[in-house]
A and B are shown apart, each in its own frame.
Chain A
Amino acid sequence: MDYFIELLFSGLSRGAIYALIALGYTMVYGIIGLINFAHGEIYMIGAFTSFIIATILTILGFPGLAIILLAGLAAVIWSASYGYTIEKVAYKPLRHAPRLSALISAIGMSMFLQNYVLLAQTSDFLPFPQLIPDFDFMEPIAHIVGSSDMVILVTTTVVMICLTILIKYTKIGKAMRATSQDRTMAMLVGINVNRIISITFIIGSSLAAIGGMLVASHIGQINFYIGFIAGIKAFTAAVLGGIGSIPGAVLGSVVLGLTESFATGYVSSDYEDVFAFSLLVLILIFKPSGLLGKADTQKV
């Protein structure tokens, strides 16, 4: 039973990480119908930015808490900027083009960003400082849930609650919902669609940035390639849960995280990824809109 609980929390931890990134994917898809392949790279840039800022602050001798907050803030600011810029450069001109063009542009952007960071920084694995200290009160259960696991879970829950409040109860949220339902109509009722789309990208990127910093601190190293793998997994999670649906993204992430964790724990770690992808393929075959997605009826 103990083992089961350990694997459960492992899976939840993983799921929370995927969720932070998956939310970005799902929001962008909901609003402009584009799978933002470059989103994983934004997560990676968030990790790198927080690494750089955290190191500088450590050298300057700031206290631990300040470092976390400031590094996190820096990651959010810069990732959001990247998200905003990417949208303006690579996606906005293609808003009326066929979906395939935008998708390919996204793939190209992803490759570009990966190599940009590789060339501008380094191909090495960089050690990421442990920003979240080991809390003493966690010690008895540290072998199941570590301090950073807990912080990740708590952060993700808080983020999800905030996001849901934003979408359901604020004006901007209403505008976002309207834009995702029918863009032309939203324009007609006076919503500044460009601004809403940019805001969506900014929010999605900020979430990914926070995720990047937390995961980097949890695992202890970063590398220009982490965005790719995390991106594919998170993207799988978003599609699994029903792309375009925010609760779906979180549900999909949790399901994916638990699947991987239990597959490793009870079957074999070798086929961990195969399980994940097979799950995706199966769900898409039998319920193409994902777990919580709405079946998309095509109008002729």
Chain B
Amino acid sequence: MFTFEELKRSFLVSIWFVFLTFPIMVIRVDSIEKTVQWRWMNMVYVAIGSFILSFVFRYMMQRKEMKSEDNGDGDKKDKTGRSFIHRWLADPKYRNAILGSLLAAAIIFPHVFSTYQTSIMTTALMYVVLGLGLNIVVGLAGLLDLGYVAFYAVGAYTYALLYHFFGVGFWVALPIGGLLAALFGILLGIPVLRLRGDYLAIVTLGFGEIIRLVMENWGAFSQGPSGVSNIPRPSFFGIDMSLDTALVYTYYLMILLVIFTIFFVNRLQDSRLGRAWIALREDEIACQAMGIDKMKTKLVAFSLGAFWAGIVGVIFAAKTTFISPRSFTFIESAIILSIVVLGGMGSIIGVIFGALILILLPEYLRALSEYRMLAFGAILVCMMVFRPQGIIGSIRRTYTYQNRKKADGEVS
């Protein structure tokens, strides 16, 4: 079954991992009580686990090598090179059926499931929109933004503070939050125009942290670490709603927002702007050489991405009725980035799937919630190593030449 060579290598790998994880996994000390606890079972688990995993790893690497030799993508393809999900969607018959049943499911969802489930689904939908927003910046335009959570915070705090100081309602605050976040997007974009790749990532990370720290420390303005509470939920023409109804209402709002966002981003991708972004992502210098205004393109990317984050921020503040700087750390940015990466950078469907998986799965697997962040990290690494295009990679707009026989018999 397996060659002796492979068995030997896996055995050595397993021994290495036992050594590597020995202090952390096997030993636990209590320096006060002066006791040492030896957990030998862990060692056995590590040994067996790493033995098996090394086989899996080697197999996946071999598959990767072979794939990269033919067409560099892991999906089953048809002639036009599109994976089967995209084929389904392109065909109007299937598309209507799928979308229709999804819509129906989405509408009856709150009536079938409990309020708690609806609340979770609403959170997942918020992350879908956040993912789509970041997708514009990272996936389409190729600008690695590690401080995306800053715009989310701007939106949330806009609503919270406008209500706190001026009694502004949800619907008025919604566009203001979005626009203010977009403004911040431009403010961030201007200084980083000249930076590439890694430096851009670092500066955006710094920016995200600065926003959070300012919110935390400027107590007079942002109420500091105690946060802002008693933020009202979204209202429906001023009718007072109970908790349940308000949550269901928020859910429907999110569904509408998701549909709007998908529509918007989809159209954007096919527009001139979208193509400019893709060009920017592929090769900045060539893009400049083609006459695309790099500065404007980047700024629009940042501000549009920020706009969506701001809108979701306002909804977040309204949904949880309490915000504090602790909700807007770098980890949030990392989670949203994971969603985009997992789903496939630039691919709308992929991002949606990524968000649903990464947010819903931990909720339903509450028993394993301890391992959630561990799994996040592992997923990121594995996805990048084995399937960098994400679950559902984005399709490139390609033009296929149909073989036509010309009048005089030539094939063009």
| A residues in contact (CB < 8 Å) with B | 29, 33, 35, 45, 48-49, 51-53, 55-56, 58-59, 74, 78, 81-82, 85, 89-90, 93-94, 97-105, 107-117, 119-122, 126-129, 232, 235-236, 239, 243, 270-271, 273-274, 277-278, 280-281, 284-285, 288, 298, 300
Report Cα–Cα, A115/B380, bound state, in Å: 14
B210 → chain A closest CB, angstroms: 5
Give the nearest-CB partner of A50 in chain B: B23
**Chain A residues within an 8 Å CB radius of B337:** 104, 107
**Chain B residues within an 8 Å CB radius of A98:** 388
Give the nearest-CB partner of B39 in chain A: A120
- Are A35 and B377 in contact, with the CB atoms below 8 A? no
Give the nearest-CB partner of A35 in chain B: B198
**Chain A residues within an 8 Å CB radius of B217:** 270-271, 274
**Chain B residues within an 8 Å CB radius of A35:** 198, 201-202
- Choice from B61, B138, B197, B380 contacting A99 with Cβ under 8 Å: B197
Known contacts A114-B373, A115-B371, A285-B192; 11 additional CB pairs below 8 A are A52-B23, A85-B17, A89-B381, A114-B377, A116-B374, A121-B24, A128-B31, A277-B207, A281-B207, A298-B285, A300-B285
- Are B29 and A52 in contact, with the CB atoms below 8 A? yes
- Are B34 and A59 in contact, with the CB atoms below 8 A? yes
Produce 1/0 per residue, B2-32, CB < 8 A to A. Answer: 0000000000000011011101110111111
- Are B385 and A285 in contact, with the CB atoms below 8 A? no
Summarize B's interface: helix, strand, loop or mixed.
helix
Task: From known contacts A93-B385, A121-B24, A288-B194, infer whether A271 and B213 are also in contact, taking CB-CB under 8 Å.
Answer: yes
List 29 contacting pairs A-B, 8 Å CB cutoff, sorted by A. Answer: A35-B201, A48-B23, A52-B28, A55-B29, A55-B31, A55-B34, A56-B29, A58-B34, A81-B20, A85-B16, A93-B61, A98-B388, A100-B142, A104-B380, A108-B338, A108-B376, A109-B380, A111-B380, A114-B373, A116-B374, A120-B25, A122-B28, A127-B31, A277-B206, A277-B213, A280-B202, A281-B206, A284-B203, A298-B285
User: Is B195 in contact with chain A by the CB < 8 A criterion?
Assistant: yes
A231 → chain B closest CB, angstroms: 11
Q: Top 9 A-B pairs ranked by shortest CB distance?
A: A108-B380, A112-B377, A111-B377, A115-B374, A105-B384, A55-B29, A108-B381, A277-B206, A115-B373
- Are A284 and B144 in contact, with the CB atoms below 8 A? no
Report Cα–Cα, A120/B198, bound state, in Å: 32
- Are B31 and A126 in contact, with the CB atoms below 8 A? yes
Report Cα–Cα, A136/B217, bound state, in Å: 41
A140 → chain B closest CB, angstroms: 31
- Are B199 and A103 in contact, with the CB atoms below 8 A? no
- Are A56 and B24 in contact, with the CB atoms below 8 A? no
Report Cα–Cα, A74/B29, bound state, in Å: 15
Question: How many cross-chain pairs have Cβ atoms below 8 Å apart between A and B?
Answer: 171
- Are B23 and A108 in contact, with the CB atoms below 8 A? no
**Chain A residues within an 8 Å CB radius of B194:** 288
- Are A119 and B370 in contact, with the CB atoms below 8 A? yes
**Chain B residues within an 8 Å CB radius of A288:** 194-195, 199
Give the nearest-CB partner of A123 in chain B: B370
- Choice from A105, A232, A278 contacting B210 with Cβ under 8 Å: A278
Which positions 380-406 of chain B face chain A at CB distance < 8 Å? 380-381, 383-385, 388
Report Cα–Cα, A126/B32, bound state, in Å: 9
- Are A108 and B374 in contact, with the CB atoms below 8 A? no
**Chain A residues within an 8 Å CB radius of B199:** 239, 284, 288
- Are A121 and B36 in contact, with the CB atoms below 8 A? no
Give the nearest-CB partner of B205 in chain A: A232
- Are B209 and A277 in contact, with the CB atoms below 8 A? yes
Interface centre among B199, B207, B285, B338, by most A CB within 10 Å? B199
**Chain B residues within an 8 Å CB radius of A128:** 31
Report Cα–Cα, A261/B36, bound state, in Å: 39
- Are A111 and B36 in contact, with the CB atoms below 8 A? no
- Choice from B28, B142, B210, B373 contacting A111 with Cβ under 8 Å: B373
Report Cα–Cα, A127/B29, bound state, in Å: 11
A73 → chain B closest CB, angstroms: 13
**Chain A residues within an 8 Å CB radius of B370:** 119
User: Is B378 in contact with chain A by the CB < 8 A criterion?
Assistant: yes
**Chain B residues within an 8 Å CB radius of A53:** 23
- Are A108 and B378 in contact, with the CB atoms below 8 A? yes
**Chain A residues within an 8 Å CB radius of B385:** 90, 93-94, 105
Task: From known contacts A94-B385, A271-B217, A281-B207, infer whether A112 and B36 are also in contact, taking CB-CB under 8 Å.
Answer: no
User: Is B162 in contact with chain A by the CB < 8 A criterion?
Assistant: no
- Are A108 and B29 in contact, with the CB atoms below 8 A? no
Task: From known contacts A48-B23, A112-B378, infer whether A284 and B195 are also in contact, taking CB-CB under 8 Å.
Answer: yes
**Chain A residues within an 8 Å CB radius of B377:** 108-115
- Are B191 and A285 in contact, with the CB atoms below 8 A? yes
Give the nearest-CB partner of A33 in chain B: B198
Report Cα–Cα, A181/B16, bound state, in Å: 32
- Are B203 and A100 in contact, with the CB atoms below 8 A? no
A15 → chain B closest CB, angstroms: 19
Task: From known contacts A108-B377, A273-B213, infer whether A101 and B23 are also in contact, taking CB-CB under 8 Å.
Answer: no
- Choice from A29, A59, A117 contacting B36 with Cβ under 8 Å: A59
A206 → chain B closest CB, angstroms: 15
